[in-house]
Amino acid sequence: MRLLPVAFAAIAFAAAAAEGEPAAKGRSYALIAAMGDRLMATHEVRRTGSHLPPYRRTGIEAPDNVLNRLVLAGLDDAVAKMDASSTRLHLAVSVRRQSTDSTAMDAAALAAVVDELRGRPERAGWDRVVVATPAYRPLTTDAMAGRSQGFGVFMQPLCQSMQGSCGMFTDGTSPSAAETVQTPSGETIKANQFVAPYVYLK
Protein backbone atom coordinates (compact mmCIF):
# COMPACT_ATOMS: atom_id res chain seq x y z
CA MET A 1 0.00 0.00 0.00
CA ARG A 2 1.29 3.44 -0.87
CA LEU A 3 0.27 6.63 0.85
CA LEU A 4 -1.01 9.38 -1.44
CA PRO A 5 1.17 12.25 -0.13
CA VAL A 6 4.30 10.13 -0.46
CA ALA A 7 3.42 9.12 -4.01
CA PHE A 8 2.68 12.67 -5.11
CA ALA A 9 5.85 14.03 -3.56
CA ALA A 10 7.93 11.30 -5.15
CA ILE A 11 6.61 12.13 -8.62
CA ALA A 12 7.21 15.85 -8.23
CA PHE A 13 10.69 15.53 -6.80
CA ALA A 14 11.65 12.95 -9.39
CA ALA A 15 10.79 15.49 -12.07
CA ALA A 16 12.99 18.07 -10.37
CA ALA A 17 15.90 15.67 -10.02
CA ALA A 18 15.81 14.66 -13.67
CA GLU A 19 17.98 17.60 -14.68
CA GLY A 20 20.27 17.25 -11.67
CA GLU A 21 19.90 20.88 -10.57
CA PRO A 22 17.74 22.86 -8.12
CA ALA A 23 14.37 24.02 -9.42
CA ALA A 24 14.49 27.53 -10.83
CA LYS A 25 11.76 29.99 -9.91
CA GLY A 26 9.09 30.96 -12.37
CA ARG A 27 9.07 27.71 -14.28
CA SER A 28 5.92 26.40 -15.92
CA TYR A 29 4.73 22.88 -15.16
CA ALA A 30 2.16 20.85 -17.05
CA LEU A 31 0.61 18.43 -14.57
CA ILE A 32 -1.17 15.59 -16.33
CA ALA A 33 -3.28 12.81 -14.80
CA ALA A 34 -4.68 9.81 -16.68
CA MET A 35 -6.04 7.59 -13.89
CA GLY A 36 -9.24 6.30 -15.46
CA ASP A 37 -12.82 6.67 -14.24
CA ARG A 38 -13.21 3.72 -11.86
CA LEU A 39 -11.76 2.59 -8.56
CA MET A 40 -11.56 -1.11 -7.73
CA ALA A 41 -12.99 -2.86 -4.69
CA THR A 42 -11.13 -6.17 -4.18
CA HIS A 43 -12.39 -8.73 -1.67
CA GLU A 44 -10.58 -11.91 -0.69
CA VAL A 45 -12.85 -14.97 -0.61
CA ARG A 46 -12.42 -18.45 0.79
CA ARG A 47 -11.58 -21.07 -1.87
CA THR A 48 -11.00 -24.81 -1.60
CA GLY A 49 -9.22 -26.91 -4.21
CA SER A 50 -8.78 -24.11 -6.74
CA HIS A 51 -5.69 -22.56 -8.31
CA LEU A 52 -7.58 -19.40 -9.20
CA PRO A 53 -6.69 -16.22 -7.30
CA PRO A 54 -8.99 -15.89 -4.24
CA TYR A 55 -10.16 -12.39 -5.09
CA ARG A 56 -13.35 -10.85 -6.40
CA ARG A 57 -13.16 -7.42 -8.00
CA THR A 58 -15.91 -4.87 -8.42
CA GLY A 59 -15.40 -1.69 -10.40
CA ILE A 60 -16.96 1.42 -8.85
CA GLU A 61 -17.73 4.39 -11.06
CA ALA A 62 -15.83 7.56 -10.18
CA PRO A 63 -17.66 10.32 -12.10
CA ASP A 64 -16.70 13.91 -12.85
CA ASN A 65 -12.99 13.16 -13.28
CA VAL A 66 -12.68 12.78 -9.50
CA LEU A 67 -9.65 10.45 -9.62
CA ASN A 68 -7.72 12.72 -11.96
CA ARG A 69 -8.67 15.73 -9.86
CA LEU A 70 -7.39 14.08 -6.69
CA VAL A 71 -4.05 13.30 -8.32
CA LEU A 72 -3.72 16.75 -9.86
CA ALA A 73 -4.44 18.41 -6.52
CA GLY A 74 -1.70 16.34 -4.90
CA LEU A 75 0.77 17.08 -7.67
CA ASP A 76 -0.04 20.77 -7.57
CA ASP A 77 0.55 20.90 -3.82
CA ALA A 78 3.87 19.06 -4.11
CA VAL A 79 5.16 21.26 -6.95
CA ALA A 80 3.97 24.44 -5.21
CA LYS A 81 6.00 23.53 -2.13
CA MET A 82 9.04 22.77 -4.27
CA ASP A 83 8.73 25.81 -6.56
CA ALA A 84 6.43 28.41 -5.00
CA SER A 85 6.60 30.92 -7.87
CA SER A 86 5.87 28.38 -10.59
CA THR A 87 2.85 28.37 -12.87
CA ARG A 88 1.00 25.08 -13.13
CA LEU A 89 -1.35 23.84 -15.83
CA HIS A 90 -3.69 20.93 -15.05
CA LEU A 91 -4.70 18.39 -17.69
CA ALA A 92 -7.07 15.48 -17.01
CA VAL A 93 -6.89 12.85 -19.76
CA SER A 94 -9.55 10.20 -20.37
CA VAL A 95 -8.36 6.60 -20.67
CA ARG A 96 -10.07 3.89 -22.68
CA ARG A 97 -11.38 1.09 -20.47
CA GLN A 98 -9.56 -2.22 -20.72
CA SER A 99 -11.07 -5.61 -21.54
CA THR A 100 -11.18 -6.73 -17.88
CA ASP A 101 -10.89 -5.09 -14.48
CA SER A 102 -7.49 -6.71 -13.93
CA THR A 103 -5.97 -5.83 -17.32
CA ALA A 104 -3.04 -3.43 -17.03
CA MET A 105 -4.01 0.06 -18.18
CA ASP A 106 -0.70 1.89 -17.76
CA ALA A 107 0.25 1.58 -21.45
CA ALA A 108 -3.20 2.75 -22.58
CA ALA A 109 -3.02 5.69 -20.17
CA LEU A 110 0.39 6.78 -21.44
CA ALA A 111 -0.79 6.47 -25.06
CA ALA A 112 -3.79 8.67 -24.25
CA VAL A 113 -1.48 11.30 -22.76
CA VAL A 114 0.76 11.27 -25.84
CA ASP A 115 -2.28 11.72 -28.10
CA GLU A 116 -3.46 14.64 -25.97
CA LEU A 117 -0.08 16.36 -26.11
CA ARG A 118 0.21 16.00 -29.88
CA GLY A 119 -2.71 18.39 -30.25
CA ARG A 120 -1.20 21.01 -27.95
CA PRO A 121 1.52 23.04 -29.71
CA GLU A 122 1.76 25.24 -26.60
CA ARG A 123 3.66 22.40 -24.96
CA ALA A 124 6.82 23.88 -26.46
CA GLY A 125 6.60 26.65 -23.87
CA TRP A 126 6.37 24.36 -20.86
CA ASP A 127 9.49 23.86 -18.76
CA ARG A 128 8.44 20.52 -17.35
CA VAL A 129 5.75 17.92 -17.85
CA VAL A 130 4.75 15.66 -14.95
CA VAL A 131 2.54 12.69 -15.87
CA ALA A 132 0.69 10.40 -13.45
CA THR A 133 -0.72 7.09 -14.70
CA PRO A 134 -1.84 3.92 -12.90
CA ALA A 135 0.97 1.58 -11.85
CA TYR A 136 0.20 -2.11 -12.33
CA ARG A 137 1.15 -4.53 -9.54
CA PRO A 138 0.94 -8.05 -11.07
CA LEU A 139 2.06 -9.98 -7.97
CA THR A 140 0.85 -10.17 -4.39
CA THR A 141 3.04 -7.83 -2.33
CA ASP A 142 2.88 -6.99 1.39
CA ALA A 143 -0.29 -9.12 1.72
CA MET A 144 -2.06 -6.95 -0.88
CA ALA A 145 -3.79 -8.57 -3.84
CA GLY A 146 -1.89 -8.87 -7.10
CA ARG A 147 -3.11 -7.52 -10.44
CA SER A 148 -4.01 -4.23 -8.77
CA GLN A 149 -3.59 -0.73 -10.15
CA GLY A 150 -4.69 2.86 -9.73
CA PHE A 151 -7.17 3.67 -6.97
CA GLY A 152 -8.92 0.99 -4.96
CA VAL A 153 -9.73 -0.61 -1.64
CA PHE A 154 -8.66 -4.10 -0.52
CA MET A 155 -10.79 -6.12 1.94
CA GLN A 156 -9.56 -9.28 3.62
CA PRO A 157 -11.48 -11.41 6.16
CA LEU A 158 -9.72 -12.06 9.46
CA CYS A 159 -12.01 -14.77 10.83
CA GLN A 160 -10.48 -17.75 12.60
CA SER A 161 -13.76 -19.67 12.85
CA MET A 162 -17.37 -19.46 11.61
CA GLN A 163 -16.03 -19.31 8.05
CA GLY A 164 -19.50 -19.21 6.57
CA SER A 165 -20.05 -15.81 8.17
CA CYS A 166 -16.50 -14.61 7.78
CA GLY A 167 -16.41 -10.94 6.94
CA MET A 168 -20.14 -10.45 7.49
CA PHE A 169 -19.74 -8.80 10.90
CA THR A 170 -17.61 -5.72 10.40
CA ASP A 171 -18.02 -4.33 13.91
CA GLY A 172 -16.54 -7.29 15.80
CA THR A 173 -19.90 -8.27 17.33
CA SER A 174 -19.11 -11.96 16.83
CA PRO A 175 -16.04 -12.48 19.07
CA SER A 176 -15.52 -16.13 18.13
CA ALA A 177 -15.06 -15.16 14.49
CA ALA A 178 -13.00 -12.04 15.05
CA GLU A 179 -9.34 -11.41 15.67
CA THR A 180 -7.84 -9.02 18.17
CA VAL A 181 -6.16 -6.24 16.21
CA GLN A 182 -4.72 -2.80 16.80
CA THR A 183 -5.96 0.31 15.05
CA PRO A 184 -3.55 2.92 13.61
CA SER A 185 -4.19 5.01 16.74
CA GLY A 186 -3.10 2.12 18.97
CA GLU A 187 -6.54 1.04 20.17
CA THR A 188 -7.10 -2.72 20.60
CA ILE A 189 -10.37 -3.96 19.08
CA LYS A 190 -12.05 -7.07 17.68
CA ALA A 191 -12.26 -7.06 13.89
CA ASN A 192 -13.48 -9.41 11.19
CA GLN A 193 -12.04 -7.59 8.19
CA PHE A 194 -8.85 -5.85 7.20
CA VAL A 195 -9.67 -2.89 4.94
CA ALA A 196 -6.95 -0.93 3.17
CA PRO A 197 -7.47 1.88 0.65
CA TYR A 198 -4.59 2.10 -1.81
CA VAL A 199 -3.29 3.97 -4.81
CA TYR A 200 -0.67 2.69 -7.21
CA LEU A 201 0.59 5.31 -9.62
CA LYS A 202 3.71 6.23 -11.52
Q: Which residue has the higher pLDDT, 107 or 142?
A: 107
pLDDT band of 21, cuts 50, 70, 90: low
Q: Please write the tens of the pLDDT for every residue from 172-185.
A: 455 445 667 777 78
Percent of the chain at pLDDT exceeding 90: 31
If DSSP codes are grouped into helix, strand and coil, which group holds residue 92?
strand
Q: What is the pTM assigned to this prediction? A: 0.67
Percent of the chain at pLDDT exceeding 70: 66
**Close Cβ partners of 2 (under 8 Å, ≥ 6 residues apart):** 198, 199, 200, 201
Q: Please write the tens of the pLDDT for every residue from 3-18.
A: 455 455 555 555 555 4
Q: Is 77 exposed, middle or buried (0-12, 13-18, 19+ CB in 10 A)?
A: middle
